[in-house]
Chains A and B, each alone.
Chain A
Amino acid sequence: MNVLHVLFKVDGTEYAMPAADVVQMESFTGATPVPGAPAHVAGLVQVRGRVIPVVDARMRFGLPAGTPSLDSRVVVGQLGERTVGLLVDSAREVLKLDPRTIQPPPPMVVEGAKGFVKAVAQVGQRLVMLIDFPRVVGEETADVDGQR
């Protein structure tokens, strides 16, 4: 059965996560930084009356910082009781991925992606990284020890 996925781009690479885990997508107009939060947390945004943390995908993936643009999107995901946003460079596509095209990631990708990529899907000529959303978001709590 084909599963609907939301596709987004970070630093030129395409990523995807199941649409069922995505609540909505919002354009990004800046986040309120939270002092002491883990470094990959861009800050807080207000989405339809709720205040949610936003994880900066570039920071998380160890990529050079980007400049927010009109294309920047916050992919708002549901993680059990938690609602967390993921800041990405752009997100335009929703695709049905055929499970048969989804393969475990090559070892090199696994290593480079710190476990954030759990599979790779082939869409025509393109390779799409399926992210492990819970791991990307992380559960790191307040950084009390000062190691930012």
Chain B
Amino acid sequence: MSGTGEFAEFLPAYLAEVDELLASAQKDLLAVEEAVRKGLAQPRAVRELFRALHTLKGLSAMVDVEPVVSLAHWMEASLRLADQAGGRLPESSVEPLVEGLRAIEVRVRQLGAGKVASPAPANLLERLEALGPQVLDAAPKRARPVMLDAEAAFASRLAPSEREQLEGGLSGGQRALRLDFVPSSERAAKGLNINTVRERVAKLADIVKVLPLSGAAAGGASLAFALLLITRAEDAALLEAVGGPPAVVRSLEAPASAEPAAVDVAPGSAVLPASAVPPGAAGLEEELDEPEVRRGGGLLRVEVSRLDEAMEWLAALVVNRSRLTRAVAALTQAGAPTRELTAILQENGRQLRDLRSAILRLRMVRVGDVLERLPLLVRGLRRATGKAVRLELDVGDAELDKAVADRLLPALVHLVRNAVDHALELPEERQAAGKAPEGLVRLTCHARASGQLELTLRDDGRGVDAKAVAKAANAPVPDSVDALLDLLCRPGLSTRQEATRTSGRGMGMDIVRRIVVEQLGGELRMETRKGAGTTFTLSVPLTVTLMDAIVFECAGRRYAVAVGTVEELIDVGSVVRPAGADGLGLVERRGAAVPLVSLARLLDGAASADGDAGRGTKALIVRQRGEPVAFAVDRLLGQQEIVLRPLEDPLVRVPGVAGATDLGDGQPTLVLDLGALGAARAGRRKRAPSRSGEWVS
């Protein structure tokens, strides 16, 4: 039992973090309780609750608060089962969970007040331990197998986790639906576009996935977005949220197992008296001391989403400024006295740049702060493994975008854990090998030019045994350190037969690589020498911009475009090609003619002789200077979240290209800003003889 003395320096950070976790856990538990009373599943709250307790357990283990660890452990165990059972808990489980959370909070408050956490009540632990089997009994999986309607749900485009989420929702008594939203200019005028629709629907349902569709959609339009949902909301409410017909709702449940959804009640829950459930929130306040008011010393915690929002407004401002610049240029050209206007505009530009960097700085966190958990982790590992370890952190005052830091930390935790658990030898072994009995794990970082942060994690352990790794991976012995790293990063690779308490079975290098390379667009390298140690070097960008993008193919290349900028996806059916328009087409969209531009020709830059080449079968409708324009592409490949990397070098900073992204093939894929691209090319043709000529490239 402790929480005092040797951990004193870590305590404030621990308390702050646990406070947040407890607050969110309580909120989720209340949501779970409400769902349980109605006999419904609440997969999201159950999962969040599980995660909160999992983290709480880990943190508490680091500062050695045994009572909280045991309480959180049994709660976590039952919630894991509930999560696997589609988010369904028996009613009888709520009371012990509420008590468990309260018991944790009491002990955390004790620590905060400088006292020692009292032992966990044995009978509460027993009841929490007994929750697991109850959850299993209540699990509806056996009671109600569900099937998705493969066609309606686009089974081929669903990730396994998304499918699971939909099926989980179904088996949990909710409805899995597909809601087709058909954008139109009238709806856009009323503020209904795919983004606002997302927001509105999110209030009524869990959105599992949004798919852009082309081809015949309801209401005669040729484009729609299909939103795959889990919900309890009525069809009417959902339709209302997307502006009514031609939107349609249909069930994703395969007809074979169709049956009234709401009637299904978990078998375990009927047995228990309803009075066993206390009135939630009121009970939680008892026994708790008044929460101590912590002064942040001039620091403020802000939700990241608010910063993102500020960034979005800024982006709108920047767009508006360039319109203003153009308008002023036009005035100047027309001979108007614009000297003062121009001066103001220039100052405005500087101010916008300053504002942008100020907002970006808001998102930066100190690397040192991000890593403050590592000493705790190493403490815990020292105890668990019996190894003598010293952790040296040399991180200076480098800073990192919050979004990057959040993703990076788990990778570093994995690497530190591996270093202690796998790489460092036991003190006796080390002495026999002529090394100091205490192993050294050293983490350094420094910011490099070109917006990258380099982190180096070095241990002085036994080095990676290439032969053992090859054997475990059932592969030939790698001939280079890069090949060895590739082997290490194979999913599920372990050089040990038994799972260890600290690292589990796998080494998690696949996760490290996925985080560093795929999620952050960084780089992972390794150096290792037998008997001397291993060094991992991680290079990650200081900031990342994540966005939802539509990926498509045009003239044999893939491109991405921000979902928010695309108003509609259409099939290019009959195109009118006015004589003399040199490739410009017109498509009809709800009674209005929309210019159709071949993106392939636009990108190619040169007027190609074969006017029909790359004409495209699909088109994305984007507003260009306020007017809808259809950009013809060859093939739509889907929607996904991408990491946008802006192109900084003047050689490639071109209008219409927002940046590049890696879709997983290691080649940069351009992220286009179609409106700006079309406008830039149109500007080039200012002196073209006819208006239609401006689409020719």
In the bound complex, residues from chain B placing their C-beta under 8 Å from that of A104 are none
* From A33, A49, A55, A144, residue with most partner B Cβ within 10 Å: A49
| Interchain nearest-CB distance for A27 vs B (Å) | 12
Contact of A35 among B539, B649, B657, B667 (CB under 8 A): B657
The residue of chain B having its C-beta at the shortest distance from the C-beta of A41 within the complex is B651
CB within 8 Å of A: which B604-619 residues: 604-606
In the bound complex, residues from chain A placing their C-beta under 8 Å from that of B522 are 49
Question: Any chain B CB within 8 A of the CB of A110?
Answer: no
Question: Any chain B CB within 8 A of the CB of A36?
Answer: yes
Question: Any chain B CB within 8 A of the CB of A93?
Answer: no
The answer to whether A142 and B653 touch across the interface, beta carbons within 8 angstroms, is: yes
The answer to whether A144 and B539 touch across the interface, beta carbons within 8 angstroms, is: no
Bound CA–CA A84/B652 (angstroms) = 11
| Interchain nearest-CB distance for A90 vs B (Å) | 22
Question: Any chain A CB within 8 A of the CB of B434?
Answer: no
Question: Any chain A CB within 8 A of the CB of B689?
Answer: no
Question: Any chain A CB within 8 A of the CB of B603?
Answer: yes
The answer to whether B651 and A38 touch across the interface, beta carbons within 8 angstroms, is: yes
The answer to whether B652 and A35 touch across the interface, beta carbons within 8 angstroms, is: no
Q: Mark A9-45, 1 if CB is under 8 A from B, else 0.
A: 0000000000000000000011011111110010011
The residue of chain A having its C-beta at the shortest distance from the C-beta of B524 within the complex is A49
The residue of chain A having its C-beta at the shortest distance from the C-beta of B650 within the complex is A141
The answer to whether A53 and B652 touch across the interface, beta carbons within 8 angstroms, is: yes
In the bound complex, residues from chain A placing their C-beta under 8 Å from that of B449 are 78, 81, 83
Question: Any chain B CB within 8 A of the CB of A146?
Answer: yes
Contact of A139 among B557, B650, B657, B666 (CB under 8 A): B650
Contact of A144 among B523, B649, B684 (CB under 8 A): B684
In the bound complex, residues from chain B placing their C-beta under 8 Å from that of A45 are 667-668
CB within 8 Å of B: which A35-77 residues: 35-38, 41, 44-46, 48-53, 55
Question: Any chain A CB within 8 A of the CB of B597?
Answer: no
The answer to whether B645 and A51 touch across the interface, beta carbons within 8 angstroms, is: yes
* From A52, A137, A145, residue with most partner B Cβ within 10 Å: A52
In the bound complex, residues from chain A placing their C-beta under 8 Å from that of B651 are 37-38, 41, 53, 55, 84, 137-141
Question: Any chain B CB within 8 A of the CB of A126?
Answer: no
In the bound complex, residues from chain B placing their C-beta under 8 Å from that of A137 are 651
The answer to whether B670 and A142 touch across the interface, beta carbons within 8 angstroms, is: no
| Interchain nearest-CB distance for A106 vs B (Å) | 30
Bound CA–CA A82/B474 (angstroms) = 43
In the bound complex, residues from chain B placing their C-beta under 8 Å from that of A34 are 647, 652, 654, 657, 670
In the bound complex, residues from chain B placing their C-beta under 8 Å from that of A29 are 667
The answer to whether A148 and B650 touch across the interface, beta carbons within 8 angstroms, is: no
In the bound complex, residues from chain A placing their C-beta under 8 Å from that of B523 are 48-50
| Interchain nearest-CB distance for B448 vs A (Å) | 10
In the bound complex, residues from chain A placing their C-beta under 8 Å from that of B654 are 34-37, 142-143
Bound CA–CA A142/B450 (angstroms) = 20
Q: Mark B594-632, 1 if CB is under 8 A from A, else 0.
A: 000000001111100000000000000000000000000
CB within 8 Å of A: which B41-96 residues: none
In the bound complex, residues from chain B placing their C-beta under 8 Å from that of A139 are 650-651
Question: Any chain A CB within 8 A of the CB of B660?
Answer: yes
A48-B649 contact in complex given A34-B670, A81-B450, A148-B605, C-beta closer than 8 Å? no
In the bound complex, residues from chain A placing their C-beta under 8 Å from that of B680 are 36, 144
| Interchain nearest-CB distance for B309 vs A (Å) | 27
| Interchain nearest-CB distance for B677 vs A (Å) | 7
CB within 8 Å of B: which A81-138 residues: 81-84, 137-138
- Secondary structure at the A interface, as helix, strand, loop or mixed, is loop
Bound CA–CA A32/B653 (angstroms) = 14
Bound CA–CA A142/B677 (angstroms) = 12
Bound CA–CA A36/B517 (angstroms) = 29
The residue of chain A having its C-beta at the shortest distance from the C-beta of B558 within the complex is A32
Bound CA–CA A140/B652 (angstroms) = 9
The answer to whether A36 and B605 touch across the interface, beta carbons within 8 angstroms, is: yes
Bound CA–CA A44/B649 (angstroms) = 11
Question: Any chain A CB within 8 A of the CB of B368?
Answer: no
In the bound complex, residues from chain A placing their C-beta under 8 Å from that of B656 are 35-36
Question: Any chain A CB within 8 A of the CB of B675?
Answer: no
The answer to whether A32 and B660 touch across the interface, beta carbons within 8 angstroms, is: yes
The residue of chain A having its C-beta at the shortest distance from the C-beta of B557 within the complex is A32
In the bound complex, residues from chain B placing their C-beta under 8 Å from that of A141 are 650-651, 653
In the bound complex, residues from chain A placing their C-beta under 8 Å from that of B650 are 139-141
CB within 8 Å of A: which B634-672 residues: 645, 647-657, 660, 662, 666-670
| Interchain nearest-CB distance for A72 vs B (Å) | 16
Bound CA–CA A17/B660 (angstroms) = 29
In the bound complex, residues from chain A placing their C-beta under 8 Å from that of B662 are 46
The answer to whether B668 and A36 touch across the interface, beta carbons within 8 angstroms, is: no
Bound CA–CA A82/B449 (angstroms) = 8
Contact of B517 among A41, A49, A52, A142 (CB under 8 A): A49
In the bound complex, residues from chain A placing their C-beta under 8 Å from that of B660 are 32, 44, 51
| Interchain nearest-CB distance for B165 vs A (Å) | 31
Question: Any chain A CB within 8 A of the CB of B521?
Answer: yes
| Interchain nearest-CB distance for B67 vs A (Å) | 44
The answer to whether B649 and A36 touch across the interface, beta carbons within 8 angstroms, is: no
Question: Any chain A CB within 8 A of the CB of B683?
Answer: yes
Contact of A36 among B520, B541, B655 (CB under 8 A): B655
* From B604, B605, B652, B662, residue with most partner A Cβ within 10 Å: B652
Q: Can you pick out 11 interface pairs between chain A and chain B where the beta carbons lie within 8 Å of each other?
A: A32-B557, A32-B667, A34-B670, A35-B605, A35-B654, A49-B517, A51-B668, A53-B649, A53-B651, A53-B652, A139-B650
CB within 8 Å of B: which residues of A? 29-30, 32-38, 41, 44-46, 48-53, 55, 78, 81-84, 137-146, 148
Sort A-B residue pairs by CB-CB distance and give the 8 closest, nearest first: A49-B523, A36-B654, A142-B654, A146-B684, A48-B523, A44-B668, A35-B603, A53-B651
CB within 8 Å of A: which residues of B? 449-450, 452, 517, 520-523, 539-541, 557, 602-606, 645, 647-657, 660, 662, 666-670, 677, 680, 683-685
Given contacts A32-B669, A142-B653, A148-B605, 15 further A-B contacts (CB under 8 A): A30-B667, A32-B668, A32-B670, A34-B670, A35-B604, A36-B656, A44-B660, A46-B666, A53-B652, A81-B449, A83-B449, A83-B649, A141-B653, A144-B655, A144-B680
